[in-house]
Amino acid sequence: MQQALRKRILVTGGAGFIGSHLCERLLEFGHDVLCVDNFFTGTRDNVLHLLDNPHFELLRHDVTFPLYVEVDEIYNLACPASPVHYQRDPVQTTKTSVHGAINMLGLAKRLRAKILQASTSEVYGDPEVHPQPEAYWGRVNTVGPRACYDEGKRCAETLFFDYHRQHGLRIKVARIFNTYGPRMQPNDGRVVSNFIVQALRDEPITLYGDGRQTRSFCYVDDLVEGLIRLMATTDDVTGPVNLGNPQEFTICELAMQVLAETGTGSELIHEPLPEDDPRQRQPDIRLARELLDWQPRVALAQGLAHTVRYFRERTGA
């Protein structure tokens, strides 16, 4: 990449699972990357291999407080994204989504920078429309245990579009569906990491409910490609745009694929379904195909192989 095309890019939550992969890819494209994280769920281990890169900078900072830097683009990924983590301190989760959005939007307004919000499929709640298109407004319990995340992200979307309408800010909103891959935390409570870690430890695999609820799993490399393509669109493309894999699996089917990939004989056990846990989750990605020329390319079996290898190396199993 020629020097004239180099951009200064801020990634909040950049030491997290998705954020670290995004930082890595942006550096490969020749940009200067400022990674900001308070390490609530992110970890320095995820970006240790980037610290010697002269175009990478790591800053410990909480986005609920203002940040004063000079950048050209902002990817706002800061927020715990798994139920175990975001329910640990629900008030802080909401503040991260809402105050963090206000602070990053204020920074973008001052700099006239383009800004992308990492929103979530959780804005659809427990959906009555399947698969979920961007035009669907969702079905969310505003007072349930998941509301700190669901409603925090919904409010952040509102703020982004109000800044766009009121101040002409160049915004992009991505609604991220279930994503998996290397650098997931083994204790984050997400279904893919839970199943892999339990299988590698020869522990029973825990299914919540009857295991017939569905999810759609997107490999992290595909997701990062979608984020970068969305950021590169013209200013009239704001989103929201669904980013996820439209291939749908039951949780039981995922468990069987994990058992096949790990080669272990863990039994399946059932626990009660958590409150407000969605029964169905599948993205309608027609808009992403049309606007971004994007769709996932990594099949679940291939992505699980990469992810199991990562957890084997991390746990020594």
Report helix, strand or coil for 114: strand
Strand partners, 215: 249
In the chain the first and final C-alpha atoms are separated, in Å, by 41
User: Under DSSP, is residue 175 helix (H, G, I), strand (E, B) or coil?
Assistant: strand
Residue 268: beta bridge partners?
A: 205
Q: Which residues pair with 218 in a beta bridge?
A: 179
Residue recorded with tokens 């790591």: 58
Residue 11 — φ and ψ, nearest 5°? -120, 105
Please report which residue ranges of 38-167 form alpha helices under DSSP H. Answer: 83-86, 90-111, 147-167
Among 75, 86, 124, 149, the active-site one is 149
Q: Does the active-site annotation cover 149? A: yes
Amino acid at 69: V
Asked if the bond preceding 182 is cis, omega within 30° of 0, the reply is no
**Token pair 């059932």 in the structure block, residue:** 270
The helix or strand, by DSSP H or E, that contains position 22, with its residue range, turns out to be helix 17-28
Active site members: 149
